[in-house]
Structure 1
Amino acid sequence: MSHPREPVGEWWRDQVVALHRWSRLVLRDEDDSVHQMRVTVRRLRSVLATYRPLLETEQTEPLRAELKWLAALLGDVRDAEVLRKRLTRWAAEHGPGPTGVDALRAALADRQAQGRARLLPELDSDRYRALIAALADGPPWSEADPGKKALRKRLRRSWRRLVAAVDAADEAADADERRRRLHEVRKKAKRVRYAAESLGAVFGNDAERLAEAAKSVQSTLGDLNDAAVMISTIGQVPAPDDAIRELLEAEEAAADAAEERFASVWKKANRSKVHGWLSP
């Protein structure tokens, strides 16, 4: 393919259309809409970051700032939503009866409602409409066409940063530091995944295979992150009862299990079959 700018631009426009479609569903409180909108924002932010040297930064930096603003609004709602779902599943398995878990779930419901109260007006604001309009034209390249070599180089850089983040996690001095560094691994994996997805029509199966590998890393460490956030939230309960303590044990076990799974997931992802094509 001689002009990779075109398929990347088409992918970008698809994401912008999806972003606005999900925003309408968020306003209607459709299930999973906040999550999907947040993922779409992440895709756009990731591509702007990955291809930054190839883009007109005077135009993209304001876009990145506005997408960060939108991501923060969505994150406030989605984080509470995820925790509530985890609590609901746990409570369903442990029978009826009032416990500290019920109080925690009510607090999270209130947090989610407050987040929606901040988010919804913004999705019907001039600021949001201006963002959609600015995104609609596609990423503003600094050259007529960046070329496959330049795009592969940017993706290779993101992959190497992911590898370095995994190495740093392996060298962590203690368990807490390792988990903090694994959180960075997750963020780097997302960057690789979304950049590779944007290049699916340019590099075909190679990009798709890399995106799937990065997704598996992101998903596994996402399980770890969800458990870690829940553990932190439980730590804020002023007077934990037996149910809260049992929930804490369950979440700690879930975090340990996700961390253990990561080793095999990374081994599978870090194969030359997956990333060898990125080499110069």
Structure 2
Amino acid sequence: MADTKREIERKYEATPDTRLPDLTRIPGVAEAEEHGVTELDAVYHDTEDLRLAASGITLRRRTGGADAGWHLKLPVAPGVRDEITADLSDEVPGELTALVRARTRGAPLVPVVRLLSSREVRLLRDADGTALAELSRDAVVAERLHGEGRTAQWDEIEIELADGADPAFLDGADKKLRKAGLRAAASPSKLARALDETGGGPAARPEPGEPRTAGDHITAYLREETEALLAHDPGVRRDLPDAVHQMRVATRRLRSALRTYRKILDREATQPLIDELKWLAGELGAARDQEVLAARLRDRVAELPATLVLGPVEARLTAWAAAGDEDTRAVALAALDSDRCLRLLDALDALLADPPLLKAAGKAPDAAIPDAVLREYRRVSGRVEHALALAPGPERDTALHDARKAAKRARYAAEAATPALGRPARRFGKRMKAVQKVLGDHQDSVVARDAARDLAVAAHLAGESAFTWGLLYGHEQAAAAEREAELPAVWAKAADPDLRAALRS
């Protein structure tokens, strides 16, 4: 079974002659406890074309030391990685293979580099004996396991924050180590350095220049959201908080941009991709919607006085949420594991490699992008006005939900336009977000109302009191009415008859 820890560290260049300063001079350190020397043997695995290394991901099988086994490291931020470990075995564990599937696309994982490290360890403790960090000095020998089999060797110093310690400790340590003459390592990881010094790392991705045209800006946005889609895949598989939501947002932003900027990117070429992004968002949506709904109902129950919670309300809600979580999570994982998803990711790569740009893509951003944003604004305006003209009831609920989707699409259009158009697009996006928030809360109340009714029926059939569920239904009905009453003022503030001029200014 895989375990996870957050790894926060700093790396420094060294030579066999590098001398460490007095480590007890580092702020907070009372003792530098020596733990001797350990011999480590690590074989790093990747695809033949080094797709994991290209994404800053490392996967190794290591023996020696206290944590022998498989280690997968996923980048979180500079100097911060999540390390997922699995028991020692001959083959790459399936749970780790799954976490990198979006990157490998099913390509075999093979040994690419072997690192032999002689590690001298010091554990830094405070006056109470609490561990603050582990400082290690490594003498490394690297061997390329394919190609010409070249070797390299170097020394380095690494300081890794202890579990639960304050990350600010590393800033104080960094000052002392730099003052002693150490300098930050040029490579982000041992693997990156080993690849560079034994025959080269992954093929360099073409670096796009500074966006100049409308097509440049929209393509850059698509590239950014595609990377977000890939980056959140492991989080969904690990069931991390908000990962499903963030991955779903990336799919929606991509789909929205392809639909909104159809005068810049050929819609005939992108329509199949739009359809597939809609499919993936839908498969992820069930899990996200269940997560939001369960949290809303829990909050509603928690707000009630104890005297109004009649029967096993919390137990029923917990069982209902758990069953829903299991079902919707299975749907999301099945989608990510499908060949259909891999084809979608390949199609996104192909789009970015050779965007189907139309004539308008070559225009200046302020000549081509504003019209697309204005189309989205007009769609929101029409749907909001239509919904407000209807009498309260199911038809109006549906119309308000349609208006919410249009507001979200307009917001995404503004986000894509902001790097090109600046403050006017950013301001418009914030206005659409305010409209989306009111309409979103209204839709959540509609869905929660239906769930409360279903739970009331189930409780009644089980011989339990349905009073509390009826009370929740009434609360949600009142919440929906409040949002409907709030909408005209929010829309009046968001509406902008001079938007065209603002976006072109």
Do these two structures clear the TM 0.5 threshold for a shared fold by scoring above it?
yes
1:204 paired with 2:417, answer: no
1:248 paired with 2:481, answer: no
Tell me what 1:171 maps to.
389
Q: Give CA deviations for 1:110-145 in whole Å, capped at 9, x if unaligned.
A: 122111112113313332222123213435323372
Tell me what 2:319 maps to.
106
1:161 paired with 2:374, answer: no
1:80–1:112 Cα contact (<8 Å) kept? yes
Q: Distance in 2 between matches of 1:226 and 1:112?
A: 17
1:126 paired with 2:339, answer: yes
Change (3 A) 1:101 1:258: farther
1:223 paired with 2:441, answer: yes
Q: Distance in 1 between matches of 2:371 and 2:499?
A: 16
AA at the equivalent of 2:434: S
AA at the equivalent of 2:356: P
Q: Give CA deviations for 1:212-249 in whole Å, capped at 9, x if unaligned.
A: 11111111111111111011222333226111111112
Name the stretch that deviates more: 109-118 or 203-212: 109-118
1:194 to 394, 401, 412: 412
AA at the equivalent of 1:112: D
2:491 to 247, 255, 266: 266
SS in 1 for 2:454: coil
Larger Cα-atom Rg: 2
Mapping 1:75-94, distance limit 5 Å: 75-94=285-304
Q: Distance in 2 between matches of 1:155 and 1:68?
A: 21
Mapping 1:23-38, distance limit 5 Å: 23-38=233-248
1:77–1:116 Cα contact (<8 Å) kept? yes
Q: Displacement, 1:275?
A: 5.8
1:7–1:201 Cα contact (<8 Å) kept? yes
Tell me what 1:277 maps to.
502
Q: Displacement, 1:87?
A: 1.8
Name the stretch that deviates more: 262-271 or 24-33: 262-271
Q: Give CA deviations for 1:237-276 in whole Å, capped at 9, x if unaligned.
A: 3226111111112211221222222222111111346565
TM-score (norm 2): 0.52
Q: Distance in 2 between matches of 1:98 and 1:38?
A: 36
Q: Distance in 2 between matches of 1:189 and 1:58?
A: 25
1:80–1:109 Cα contact (<8 Å) kept? no
Q: Distance in 2 between matches of 1:118 and 1:167?
A: 36
Q: Displacement, 1:26?
A: 0.5
Q: Distance in 1 between matches of 2:481 and 2:362?
A: 43
1:65 paired with 2:275, answer: yes
Change (3 A) 1:3 1:111: same
1:140 paired with 2:140, answer: no
SS in 2 for 1:54: coil
1:76–1:115 Cα contact (<8 Å) kept? yes
1:42 to 252, 274, 278: 252
In percent, how many aligned pairs have the same letter?
A: 37
TM-score (norm 1): 0.90
Change (3 A) 1:279 1:235: farther
1:34–1:74 Cα contact (<8 Å) kept? yes
Q: Distance in 2 between matches of 1:170 and 1:121?
A: 40
Tell me what 1:10 maps to.
220
2:411–2:432 Cα contact (<8 Å) kept? yes
Q: Displacement, 1:168?
A: 0.8
Q: Displacement, 1:171?
A: 1.6
1:51–1:154 Cα contact (<8 Å) kept? yes
Tell me what 1:19 maps to.
229
Name the stretch that deviates more: 102-111 or 249-258: 102-111
Give unpaired runs (5+ residues) of structure 1.
none
Change (3 A) 1:160 1:278: farther
SS in 1 for 2:443: helix
- How many residue pairs get aligned? The number is 280
SS in 2 for 1:236: helix
Q: Distance in 1 between matches of 2:278 and 2:468?
A: 37
1:116 paired with 2:116, answer: no
AA at the equivalent of 1:12: L
1:78–1:112 Cα contact (<8 Å) kept? no
Tell me what 1:181 maps to.
399
SS in 2 for 1:247: helix
Name the stretch that deviates more: 130-139 or 116-125: 130-139
Q: Distance in 2 between matches of 1:193 and 1:64?
A: 18
